Amino acid sequence: MSTETIFTKIINREIPADIIYEDEQALAFTDINPQAPFHVLIIPKSPIATINDVTTENAALVGHLYVVAAKLAKEHGFAEDGYRVVMNCNGHGGQTVYHIHLHMLAGKAMGWPPYQDKL
Ligand code: 5GP
């Protein structure tokens, strides 16, 4: 399966995004349909389609996404109050863009579970 998605276009500046963080491995930008006062997507520059494609070879890159989340939390003042990071996988997980991304949601108290569907 091709891992070329709209997020590759954002990485390559082919489409605009509100990019709030970038380093050699990762990019973070505001979600176009925010679900919290602060909702950013943290993505690896090297695409990985889904969590099912995470391996020991790319585990450090995936771990780096959490390093970026912690950094952003401190920089934006959310570390103490807390926040949520979520990564969806495939259809039942609600994944719509097949380039893994951490959703980082902050700025309000989160409910749990996120969906009230019957088990
Ligand atoms: P998923 O459903 O795959 O976990 O999350 C994909 C997220 O990407 C959604 O929250 C959606 O709003 C966001 N998204 C989709 N297309 C774009 C886009 O072109 N720009 C930005 N900034 N976010 C997008």
> pLDDT by residue for the chain (119 residues), tens digit each?
556 899 999 999 999 999 999 999 999 999 999 999 999 999 999 999 999 999 999 999 999 999 999 999 999 999 999 999 999 999 999 999 999 999 999 999 998 876 666 77
Domains in the chain, CATH or no CATH each: 6-106 (3.30.428.10)
In the numeric block, the tokens 């993505």 are attached to 43
Residues assigned a catalytic role: 101
> Measured from the CB, is residue 97 less than 6 Å from ligand 1?
yes
β-pair partners for 42: 28, 102
The answer to whether the peptide bond before residue 37 is cis (omega within 30 degrees of 0) is no
Q: Ligand 1: which of 88, 92, 96 to mutate, judged by most atoms within 8 Å of the beta carbon?
A: 96
Q: How far is the CA of 8 from the centre of ligand 1 (A)?
A: 12
> Measured from the CB, is residue 17 less than 6 Å from ligand 1?
yes
The pTM is what? 0.96
Residue 63's nearest CA partner among 75, 55, 73, 72 is 55
- ipTM of the complex as predicted: 0.99
Residue 3's nearest CA partner among 95, 104, 85 is 95
The answer to whether the peptide bond before residue 34 is cis (omega within 30 degrees of 0) is no
Q: How far is the CA of 41 from the centre of ligand 1 (A)?
A: 8
Tokens of 83: 């926040």
Atom of ligand 1 nearest to the CA of 17: 22
- Helix, strand or coil for residue 67? helix
